[in-house]
Amino acid sequence: MEILFSMLCMLGIGFALYHTAKRTVCAVPLPTEETIPYHWGKTALFCTALRVLFLAAAFLASRIFFENATLWSVFEHWDARHYMRIATEGYGQYQENGHYLTLVFLPLYPWVCKLFLLLFHNVQAVFVIVSNLFFIAGATFYHATVSKKYGAACANTMLLLLMLSPFSFFFGAMMPESTFLFCWAAALYFARKKWWALACLFGALGALTRLLGVLIVVMIFIEMLQNDKLLFEGGKKQRVKKLLKYGLLGIVPLGTAVYLLVNFVVAGDAFAFLYYEKLNWFQKFTPIWESLYRVAQNVAEPSGLFYTVWLPELIAIVLIIALLLLFARSYALSELWYVLIYAVMTYSTSWLLSGARYLLACFPAFTMGALLLQRHQKAKTLVLIGCGFLQMIYFVGYLQGKAIM
């Protein structure tokens, strides 16, 4: 049974790869962008208003469900404590049994929060506010990119899906999801503008936020290829300019290099985080078909984590695969490849407990979903209401410390 399941997974991934690979990269031009001026302030104001409502809901929850809790303290769950330690103590101060366990968490988000702590002294408040500020900026950048490529109506629907999906409350929690959204969206926006240096700089920041953030380099690389109809056409100067442009891609892995340097300085091993992940979180590389089989097996044999971990993880990856197959021939190639590689690598782990949260970073999936819902307005209303309802349930569960990670 396990072998059969593994073969089906491989066939599914292979089919997705086949559909995307058939599209020659340099031969597929990007759609023409809309020339209508974009209203940055209007989108940012809308995102801010919804973030205020989100925090108001958290405040009510802190008063109804908890005693002696504050608006900020209700967000301090799971990985949040580790990020707070990095900001307040650094990587080298906290140990458990002689192990620097905080090294498994990347530094950009807590480092930014540490800067804010120079002005404000409520650690919990700073972490929550920084997350929400990054979300407002990231959502605005991505809305601008989608609006110019697919139209304002699609961008608006994408924004609602991004805010209302069941696990989107993590964008406002003490987690790095919103920081990564900002870096990823800014990198894509500037790549589409052909401001390659800025795109690669934000790509490096993304790689300093999440380990798989380095995959932004794939997205920028394909955008570059699509911009060059023929890579080696033109005179010598033109070819040199193109090579220099592609050389900018080397900026993106610098974010990962900084993270590895932190590991080396603190623990004496650039890859110490891999050891600590295996030691404390039982994480190691596992072929995706084995990981998917384990998730499906856990769904088939319900346990206490059925509704909070296993079922959301299975539904999330099925939705991603379905969207990749549906849009393999009609969506932006750079984003398709990013989602495909990111999803495969995310689920290639031995003990996946946060798969649904990790797949929030498959941001193009929200745009693909929006394109589908634009064709079915009645379904759109039902989906958005359903997503908002589920988010309310999971958000309350998260605030109560349930196994929603």
How many angstroms separate the CA atoms of 28 and 376, rounded?
A: 28
pTM over 0.85: yes
405 domain residue, yes or no: no
Three-state DSSP string of 230-256: CCCCCCHHHHHHHHHHHHHHHHCHHHH
404 domain residue, yes or no: no
Q: 334 vs 33, 278, 293, CA distance in Å?
A: 16, 32, 29
279 domain residue, yes or no: yes
Position 135, amino acid? F
39 domain residue, yes or no: yes
71 domain residue, yes or no: yes
Total tally of structural domains belonging to the chain:
1
How many angstroms separate the CA atoms of 137 and 405, rounded?
A: 24
109 domain residue, yes or no: yes
Token pair 């394109």 is found at: 371
Range of 76's domain? 2-399
pLDDT digits (tens, 9 = 90+) for 252-290: 999 999 999 999 999 999 999 999 999 888 888 999 999
289 domain residue, yes or no: yes
197 domain residue, yes or no: yes
Token readout for 229 is 């109809």
How many angstroms separate the CA atoms of 25 and 116, rounded?
A: 43
Token readout for 391 is 């988010």
CB neighbourhood size of 212 (10 A): 19
Q: 72 vs 34, 69, 173, 185, CA distance in Å?
A: 41, 8, 9, 27
Contact yes or no for 26/228 (Cβ under 8 A): yes
pLDDT digits (tens, 9 = 90+) for 148-207: 999 999 999 999 999 999 999 999 999 999 999 999 999 999 999 999 999 999 999 999
How many angstroms separate the CA atoms of 381 and 401, rounded?
A: 31
